[in-house]
Chain A
Amino acid sequence: MNPNLPTLGVGFGFRAPYLSSLFLHREEVDFLEIVADHYFDPVPEKQRELELLADHFPLIPHGLSLSLGSAEGLDKNYTRQLVSLIHRLKPPWWSEHLAFTRAGGVEIGHLTPLPYTWEAVEAVCKNIREVRSQVEAPLLLENITYTFRLPGAEMTESQFLSEILEHTDCGLLLDVTNLYINSVNHGFEVADFLNAIPLERVVQLHFVGGEWEQGQLIDTHSQPTPDAVWEVMRDVLRRAPVKGVILERDENLPPFPDILAELTRARQLWQGVTE
Chain B
Amino acid sequence: MDWFNDNFIANMQGPDFLWFFGLCSIATLVYCARRINRLYSGFSTLPRIPEKPSPYEIAYLRGGAREVLWVALLSLYQSGYLTLAPATLRGRVFTATEKIPSPTELNSIERSVYSDFASPTSSPNLYLNSAMRLEVLCHEFKTSLQAKGLLVTTAQNTIRIKTGWCAFLLLGGLGGYKILIALSRGHSNIGFLLILEALTTVALLILCGVRIRTPNGEEYLKRLQQAYSKLRTTTTVGFPPPTDDNALLLAGLFGMSVFSATDYAPLSGMYVASVQVNSAGNGDGSSCSSTSSCGNTSSCSGGSSCSSGGGCGGCSSSS
Judging by beta carbons under 8 Å apart, are B314 and A218 in contact? yes
Bound CA span A37–B48, Å: 26
Judging by beta carbons under 8 Å apart, are B312 and A56 in contact? no
Contacts of A17 in B (CB 8 A): 230
Question: Is B311 close to A, CB under 8 A?
Answer: yes
Contacts of B46 in A (CB 8 A): 55
Contacts of A213 in B (CB 8 A): 316-318
Question: Is A211 close to B, CB under 8 A?
Answer: yes
8 Å CB contact of B48 from A56, A144, A211, A218: A56
Assess A37 versus B51: contact at CB under 8 Å? Given A19-B230, A48-B222, A213-B317: no
Question: Is A251 close to B, CB under 8 A?
Answer: yes
Assess A110 versus B314: contact at CB under 8 Å? Given A17-B230, A23-B49, A52-B227: yes
A94 to chain B, nearest CB (A): 14
From residue 94 to 149 of chain A, which have CB atoms closer than 8 A to chain B?
A: 97, 110-111, 142, 144-145
Judging by beta carbons under 8 Å apart, are A111 and B312 in contact? yes
From residue 5 to 55 of chain A, which have CB atoms closer than 8 A to chain B?
A: 13, 15-21, 23-24, 26-27, 35, 37-38, 42-43, 45-46, 48-49, 52, 55
1/0 contact string of B302-319 vs chain A (CB within 8 Å): 000111111111111110
A165 to chain B, nearest CB (A): 19
A178 to chain B, nearest CB (A): 9
Judging by beta carbons under 8 Å apart, are A222 and B313 in contact? yes
Bound CA span A248–B312, Å: 9
A55 to chain B, nearest CB (A): 6
Contacts of A170 in B (CB 8 A): none
Question: Is A64 close to B, CB under 8 A?
Answer: yes
Contacts of A189 in B (CB 8 A): none
CB-nearest residue of chain B relative to A251?
B313
Judging by beta carbons under 8 Å apart, are B309 and A35 in contact? yes
Assess A145 versus B290: contact at CB under 8 Å? Given A23-B49, A56-B49: no
Q: Which of B51, B305, B307 has the most CB of A within 10 A?
A: B307
From residue 180 to 239 of chain B, which have CB atoms closer than 8 A to chain A?
A: 222-223, 226-231
Judging by beta carbons under 8 Å apart, are B313 and A248 in contact? yes
From residue 39 to 85 of chain B, which have CB atoms closer than 8 A to chain A?
A: 46, 48-49, 51
A: number of interface residues (CB 8 Å): 45
- Main SS of chain B's interface residues? loop
Bound CA span A194–B271, Å: 63
A42 to chain B, nearest CB (A): 7
Judging by beta carbons under 8 Å apart, are B223 and A52 in contact? yes
1/0 contact string of A58-92 vs chain B (CB within 8 Å): 00001010000000000000000000000000000
Bound CA span A13–B308, Å: 12
Contacts of A64 in B (CB 8 A): 311-312
Question: Is A221 close to B, CB under 8 A?
Answer: yes
Question: Is A154 close to B, CB under 8 A?
Answer: no
Contacts of A268 in B (CB 8 A): none
Judging by beta carbons under 8 Å apart, are B311 and A19 in contact? no
Contacts of A271 in B (CB 8 A): none
A216 to chain B, nearest CB (A): 9
Question: Is B88 close to A, CB under 8 A?
Answer: no
Question: Is B7 close to A, CB under 8 A?
Answer: no
Question: Is B291 close to A, CB under 8 A?
Answer: yes
Q: Which of B223, B228, B246, B312 has the most CB of A within 10 A?
A: B312
Contacts of B306 in A (CB 8 A): 43
Judging by beta carbons under 8 Å apart, are B310 and A250 in contact? yes
Judging by beta carbons under 8 Å apart, are A221 and B311 in contact? yes
Judging by beta carbons under 8 Å apart, are A48 and B316 in contact? no
Judging by beta carbons under 8 Å apart, are A218 and B223 in contact? no
B266 to chain A, nearest CB (A): 25
Question: Is A156 close to B, CB under 8 A?
Answer: no
B109 to chain A, nearest CB (A): 22
Judging by beta carbons under 8 Å apart, are A43 and B227 in contact? no
CB-nearest residue of chain A relative to B307?
A46
Bound CA span A169–B12, Å: 74
Bound CA span A143–B310, Å: 18
Bound CA span A42–B316, Å: 29
B236 to chain A, nearest CB (A): 14
Bound CA span A19–B308, Å: 12
12 residue pairs from A and B, CB less than 8 Å apart: A16-B305, A17-B230, A24-B228, A35-B309, A49-B226, A52-B227, A55-B46, A218-B314, A220-B315, A222-B313, A250-B313, A251-B313
